[in-house]
Amino acid sequence: MKNKLPTKWLENLAILDIAFQPIINIHTGKIYAVEALLRNHNNIGFKSIFHIFDAVYDEGILYAFDLALREKTIQKFTEINHYEDMKLFYNLDNRLFEMSDFETGNTEKILEKFNLKKDNICFEISERHEISRHCDISAVLSHYQQENFSIALDDFGTGHSGYKLLYNSAPDILKIDRFFLSNIEKNIKKKLIVRNIINLCIQLGIKVVAEGVETKEEYFICKELGCNLAQGYLVQRPTLNPIEIIQNYADIIELINSSKRDSANDSNIKKHLIKVAPINIRTKMDYVVEYFKKNKEISVVPIVDMDNEPIGIIEEQQIKDFLYSPYGISLIKNDTNSKSKLKNLIKPCSFTDVNSDIATIIELFSNNKEAIGTIVTKNSKYYGWLSARAIINIMNEENLLFAREQNPLTKLPGNTMIERYIEKISKSRNNFMLCYFDLDNFKAFNDVYGFRNGDRVILLFAEILKKHLAKEFFIAHIGGDDFFIAIEFKEEESKQFIEKILLIIKIFTEDVKSFYSLEDREKESIVSKDRDGNMKKFPLSTVSASAIFIEQKTSNRSSSDINNILSLQKKVAKNASNNISISTLL
């Protein structure tokens, strides 16, 4: 490996520095990798990093420069604490494959020099530069993958080749560009595009990095949509000091814990998990054959890399087909033959973190009729296998659980789910808005018009809530004529939520009139017995709303605090001129 760089570029390289930015597991806050980013370009007279690479490309020394930079980067990477337990994401300029001095094997020599494994390196390719028609990038990338280097597709969606490059590169990891994530919580179109990209990657067994995450709202949306990893200012800005890269990011862990769902989801996944022992990618084929012979109850086995990260699966039928093919047994015994290598038989398979929401797993499985199951990971490492039968069982259990806990009339979540939601709020540090609705003069209506019409009025209000509230709202039916809604919010949204509640009050007050007789509508009242048995005139039914805002600074957010204030505000709302009471929990 000869360094062919001119003296000028060796001096420039000495001035350039490397910054690292962490890439973390989106479910745990634990570090997965760091991306290497070039710094000090202005100190050598260049406007940007890209101008540096354009210059060395024009001089025909791009590969030599990149190789020297690669060694400098890897050397600094080894200064990070516990670097051996993480990956280094290194950006490749696509044009270096056009260089006449390009050759394979040099990265492996650098890694050996620093006692690193190939599994520690992930090469990032981008759509930034168009691939030359003289350069077969598929062959080059295939070589890197055959040599057990990971490939990440960067800036996905910003270039011209998009899905074609995704198809040709068959990456291990895909990074969704910041453009699609910026304010994604407010942009339905971005959310839909990102959801579709992630769903495709999950089916292909590709990890997804949310790149450039800057706000907790973006973080939670990316986590909800199924991203595996996150990178951005919210986690940590790029740093020139390797010591500042840490193993676990406390702020992110606190963020995760603040919104953690009920552990029942975890236990349900773990209950159905099959602890199938995985096979390492470098295992010889004859061992795989013996594995299936000894474990006759197993029809599929997950394949992992040297770091115990899942790559895909192999099915027993594939081994049988291989054995029964011409010279199949001979090919297996002759391990030098490339056709007998295990990696040639690996099939893509979806994988999901053990902390993923069950609803997400069920949705993805339902959308892929050919899926035979999914690999389950924990901290990006192989954890177990969920078969198709297990996922179907989980689906059935979830449906039964929801059926038991929902209100039989409105089919909305009932009291148990409300209690869980309030318990989640009590453990969180985020902003929430809760609202308790109570239909006014409903008992009098029920007594005069009967229970069947009473049920119709309750269904009317339930439909109004579902129609006029976004799906982000938690909508529940406490029972009888009492309803509950809640949502996590940002401070600037509080006014619009109050306006939404007032709109619901107005719509119900108008729509419910259709259930009264013409005579009662004209009188705007009905006569019925009060709770003491005395005849009394009652106005037409309307609805009262008790809204409570729980802010980040709120310290008293226990379940009892929330329930007590809801009960007190209910009385205030019934006496308010606009049928609403608003309070903030301190």
What local confidence, expressed as pLDDT, does residue 422 receive?
Answer: 85
Instruction: Judge whether 29 and 248 are in contact, CB under 8 Å.
Output: yes
Domain containing 82 equals 7-260
DSSP secondary structure code for residue 248 in this structure: B
With H, G, I as helix, E, B as strand and everything else as coil, classify residue 358: helix
User: Computed from CA positions of residues 319, 320, 326, 332, in that sequence, does the dihedral angle turn out positive or negative?
Assistant: positive
Question: How far is the C-alpha of 197 from the C-alpha of 190, rounded, in Å?
Answer: 11
In a domain, 246, yes or no: yes
Question: How far is the C-alpha of 376 from the C-alpha of 274, rounded, in Å?
Answer: 10
Instruction: Judge whether 242 and 20 are in contact, CB under 8 Å.
Output: yes
In a domain, 1, yes or no: no
Q: Give the CA angle between residues 136, 139, 140 to the nearest 5°.
A: 90
Could you state, in chain order, the average pLDDT of each consecutive group of 10 residues for the chain (586 residues)?
79 96 94 97 94 94 95 97 95 85 89 93 76 55 77 76 73 91 85 88 89 91 90 97 95 80 60 88 82 85 88 84 62 54 80 79 75 87 89 83 85 89 77 92 94 96 94 91 90 85 96 96 93 90 93 74 80 86 83
User: What is the pTM for the complete model shown?
Assistant: 0.69
What local confidence, expressed as pLDDT, does residue 79 receive?
Answer: 97
Rounded to the nearest 10 degrees, the angle between the axes of helix 7-15 and helix 62-77 is: 30
CATH number, residue 144:
3.20.20.450
What local confidence, expressed as pLDDT, does residue 274 receive?
Answer: 87
**Based on the domain organization, do 389 and 531 belong to the same domain?**
no
**Based on the domain organization, do 527 and 434 belong to the same domain?**
yes
**Based on the domain organization, do 212 and 279 belong to the same domain?**
no
CATH number, residue 304:
3.10.580.10
**Based on the domain organization, do 277 and 375 belong to the same domain?**
yes
Report the domain count for the chain.
3
CATH number, residue 450:
3.30.70.270
DSSP secondary structure code for residue 365 in this structure: H
Three-state SS string over 265-291 comes to HHHHHHHHCECCCCEECCCCHHHHHHH
State the pairing for strand pair 525-529/482-488.
Answer: unpaired
**Based on the domain organization, do 312 and 415 belong to the same domain?**
no
**Based on the domain organization, do 447 and 382 belong to the same domain?**
no
Side by side, which strands form the sheet with 300-304?
A: 279-280, 300-304, 310-315
In a domain, 225, yes or no: yes
**Looking at 354, 369, 397, which one is the last position of a domain?**
397
**Based on the domain organization, do 506 and 580 belong to the same domain?**
yes
> Nearest Cα to 266, choosing from 383, 152, 437?
383
Other C-beta atoms lying within 10 Å of the C-beta of residue 15: 11
In a domain, 203, yes or no: yes
State the pairing for strand pair 535-539/525-529.
Answer: antiparallel
**Based on the domain organization, do 446 and 535 belong to the same domain?**
yes
Question: How far is the C-alpha of 367 from the C-alpha of 395, rounded, in Å?
Answer: 13
**Based on the domain organization, do 425 and 301 belong to the same domain?**
no
**Based on the domain organization, do 357 and 392 belong to the same domain?**
yes
What local confidence, expressed as pLDDT, does residue 561 receive?
Answer: 78
What local confidence, expressed as pLDDT, does residue 493 receive?
Answer: 80
**Looking at 397, 427, 458, which one is the last position of a domain?**
397
Question: How far is the C-alpha of 207 from the C-alpha of 379, rounded, in Å?
Answer: 13
**Based on the domain organization, do 375 and 410 belong to the same domain?**
no
Question: How far is the C-alpha of 340 from the C-alpha of 285, rounded, in Å?
Answer: 7
> Nearest Cα to 198, choosing from 168, 221, 165?
221
- The CA–CA distances, whole Å, from 272 to 275, 381, 399 equal 10, 18, 16
What local confidence, expressed as pLDDT, does residue 137 receive?
Answer: 60
- The CA–CA distances, whole Å, from 12 to 2, 68, 69, 239, 251 equal 18, 11, 11, 20, 37
**Based on the domain organization, do 93 and 139 belong to the same domain?**
yes
**Looking at 241, 260, 279, which one is the last position of a domain?**
260
